[in-house]
Structure 1
Amino acid sequence: MTNVLTVSHVGKAYKRYPNKWVRAWEWASGRTTHEKTWVLKDIDFSVKPGEAVGIIGVNGAGKSTLLKIITGTTQPTTGGVQRSGRVAALLELGMGFHPDFTGRQNVFMAGQLLGLSQAEIDEHMPAIEAFAEIGEYIDRPVRLYSSGMQMRLAFSVATAVRPDLLIVDEALSVGDAYFQHKSFDRIRAFRDQGSALLIVSHDRAAIQGLCSRALLLERGVVVKDDNPEAVMDFYNALIAERENQTVQVVQLADGRSQTTSGTGEAKVKNIALVNEAGEAVEIINVGQQVHLQIDIELGAILPGLVLGYSIKDRLGQTIFGTNTHHLGLNLDAHVRDGCVRVQFTFPANLGAGSYSIATALHKSDTHLAANYEWRDLALVFNVLNINRTPFEGNCWIPPEAKCIA
């Protein structure tokens, strides 16, 4: 299968001069007087038709530079990029829009930049107007638009014709919830029809919901290329990392990667899902009452210790999460000999499927304050629908149905 996009050992460096006179001297003398600052180093990956790849990383990791190289607006210092077919990119909000021209005029200019002819733009204009839903503003200057309206129109133009490769940066994050759902539905439809997707986002749900693969950029280097769940877990661990912390990745028996990070001052020594009879179980019924028991071992006195957990579906998307801080449970008063057992009791109102539990030991309300231990895939369990009426989805919310006059 021919790749829609091939990025081969791409690197990008910018020249740095002490002052403007040194720059002039280099130009006049032909001697090298600058230093190079590398923002990308040896980036190498490919994307096939119908494949959706997410790119994540902290600000300054090199994501925007990489996208500019892929779209051809910036040239690489080393390596190269090969693209096949039509490419549509939504990199910056309203990029290329002239503020004094109307939305309709900007549609024609943006469409031509995307390679569409005048006739094609005329043909698709009604659909662009309908999808953007900005009404009479289509014939008003873009400077009168809100950021959300600019995003609506820019996305509508970029996706008026299904591209072979669609590149979407964080621009969609400024839209309202309704248009975000509408946009992601169109993106999914393109993917299902064979378009390749390149999505840059910090939104875990967006990456895991759309992508089959993700790349993590760190200081201009791809540090992880794996399934979205494993990459997002590793990314979250890096965010919480401090000087005295470590990030460890362990391959589990089922092939999945378990990421653990933290200072190690507190650790989860044992975790189990227990039924009403006090038996540890790995398979439970929809809606069954269960107890999540977690044993914690402390290496030191840690005032304000908080234990949190989250339940994730098979794609790694969080179904529910909470912690002892939000529940008003003070662990300090229950620590004995450096240990404490915490029990969370709840009905497993989940749909049939495989789930995992992630645990977090920290201070205050989030693990970013002081991360003692963050462990993904701490426990894996399965839910079966043994005696409930059939239903769809990840949550069991049994309704009552009746006819009313």
Structure 2
Amino acid sequence: MSATPNLVPVPDSGSTGPILAIESLCKDFKIYEKPSHRLAEALTRRKRHRLHRALDNISFTLGHGESLGVLGKNGAGKSTLLKLISGVLLPDSGRIVRNGRITGLLELGTGFDARLSGRDNVAVNASLLGMTADEVDRKMDAILAFSELGDFIDAPVRTYSSGMVMRLGFAIAIHAEPRCFVVDEALAVGDARFQQKCLKRIRDFRDAGGAILFVSHDIHAVKQVCSRALVLSDGQVFFDGPPDAAAQNYYRLIAGSGEDGLTLEEDDASSYGTMQTRITAVQLTDTQGRLQPRFACGEPMAVELEIEADHDAALSVGFLIRDRFGQDVFGTNTALLREHVRFRARHRSRCRFSLPANFAPGKYSVTVALHTEDSHVHDCHHWWDAAATFEVSGFGAQPFSGLCYVPVEFETARMEAVA
């Protein structure tokens, strides 16, 4: 099967059903306090372990051309889910229905023999992914070219860095022509250019009709790649829906809003925290203090917050600007600005951030937060996503490419005669 310049070929099994169906999946692990307890249990047949439920009644489907992100804190069950789907582990109960070849890159070096060269490992690892010898021969040059390992391809894998192992593993997996591609945090390894190359290849695969299961802590990558996202918590599906909403539910979890004493506005994952100190209003104004929903690029603007406190508190106040795709464009807070802000009980305070609207034309949202440290992850009093919106209607004095304007100086190059 030949590939177009921009698309990755996806085998067609002729079925119109989902490529992957997960039904009531459960997985337990035995936890022993000491290694010797495992042997004692085998000899005496007396229970010396406790059960840890890594996955509890997980169900979802993944269709053609669909990309599903999986988010969750460490220990939420993400890696266990991927290993079950890839066949590395077997479920204790439930069912996994696979419609076509599923390949993935789960852990660096999985299936590689450190004594063999990278070239020899291509054949070995590709066969583990279900590729035939003819397929390997036909795609060898493309795999090696994508990996960009050069002369190192004939060196033993034990001499490779983690980034080189990831390059080779990804190159093999994406050329196996799967119907579903499973990838996790392995892509966090390697230089930025190769990560961008991998993400582009993943998007091309999705656009060609392939299904993607993408596990990452990189919220931006999930928003770029995925059309839907799951949030796992304690082995269960905490949320299943659009990536933006999934990201907010994920932020809820890492900020601890599932714990006692934290509140969430009814049916609204965009506003949460202890609410002991809370933001009651957000306004965008011009230099005259007038409400302004629209600015020209470079025009002065201000983010004004109204805050109420139940108790005396010293907190960090911050804001984050996102574009229409949900990508973080710019954010800061008073901790990063080295400003100290104190709030008094039963008082209303007003804060103001002034900045130039140095953003490309388009629509933006403003998220605001109150927390004790330089991040809302710890002791979040209030996080309010998309509390206000504004539009940059056009360029000011200086057009540019990208998302933000950065002042640039240029000096004419001097010419020197070359002998």
Question: What is the TM-score of this pair, normalised by structure 1?
Answer: 0.89
Task: Give the corresponding residue for 2:227.
Answer: 212
Q: Which moved more, 1:392-401 or 1:336-345?
A: 392-401
Task: Give the corresponding residue for 2:373.
Answer: 364
Q: 1-side partners of 2:30 and 2:344: how far apart? A: 57
1:136 shift after superposition: 1.4
1:316 shift after superposition: 2.1
SS in 2 for 1:381: strand
Contact residue 244 and residue 263 of structure 1 kept, 8 A: no
Q: Does 1:309 align with 2:324?
A: no
Q: 2-side partners of 1:87 and 1:144: how far apart? A: 29
Q: 2-side partners of 1:249 and 1:20: how far apart? A: 51
Q: Does 1:297 align with 2:308?
A: yes
- CA spacing shift, 1:46–1:249, aligned 2, 3 Å: farther
Q: Does 1:120 align with 2:143?
A: no
SS in 2 for 1:149: helix
Contact residue 274 and residue 290 of structure 1 kept, 8 A: yes
Indicate the percent of aligned positions where both proteins have the same amino acid.
Answer: 39
Task: Give the corresponding residue for 1:254.
Answer: none
Q: 1-side partners of 2:260 and 2:176: how far apart? A: 51
Contact residue 238 and residue 247 of structure 1 kept, 8 A: no
Counterpart amino acid of residue 196 in structure 1 = A
Matched length: 394
Q: 2-side partners of 1:51 and 1:266: how far apart? A: 41
SS in 2 for 1:316: coil
- CA spacing shift, 1:335–1:19, aligned 2, 3 Å: closer
Aligned with residue 204 of structure 2, among 189, 193, 208: 189
Structure 2 gap segments, 5+ residues each: 1-15
Contact residue 162 and residue 195 of structure 1 kept, 8 A: no
Structure 1 gap segments, 5+ residues each: 252-256
Task: Give the corresponding residue for 2:352.
Answer: 343
- CA spacing shift, 1:95–1:286, aligned 2, 3 Å: same
Q: Which moved more, 1:60-69 or 1:241-250?
A: 241-250
Q: Does 1:354 align with 2:363?
A: yes
Q: 1-side partners of 2:172 and 2:38: how far apart? A: 43
- CA spacing shift, 1:36–1:324, aligned 2, 3 Å: closer
1:249 shift after superposition: 5.0
Q: Does 1:323 align with 2:348?
A: no
SS in 1 for 2:298: coil
Contact residue 213 and residue 228 of structure 1 kept, 8 A: yes
Q: How does 1:190-269 map to 2 (within 5 A)?
A: 190-241=205-256, 243-248=259-264, 250=266, 257-269=268-280
Task: Give the corresponding residue for 1:65.
Answer: 80
Contact residue 310 and residue 345 of structure 2 kept, 8 A: no
SS in 1 for 2:213: strand
Task: Give the corresponding residue for 1:134.
Answer: 149
Q: 1-side partners of 2:312 and 2:70: how far apart? A: 40
Question: What is the TM-score of this pair, normalised by structure 2?
Answer: 0.86
Contact residue 23 and residue 33 of structure 1 kept, 8 A: no
Task: Give the corresponding residue for 2:286.
Answer: 275
1:26 shift after superposition: 5.5
- CA spacing shift, 1:260–1:23, aligned 2, 3 Å: farther
Contact residue 245 and residue 261 of structure 1 kept, 8 A: no
- CA spacing shift, 1:140–1:24, aligned 2, 3 Å: same
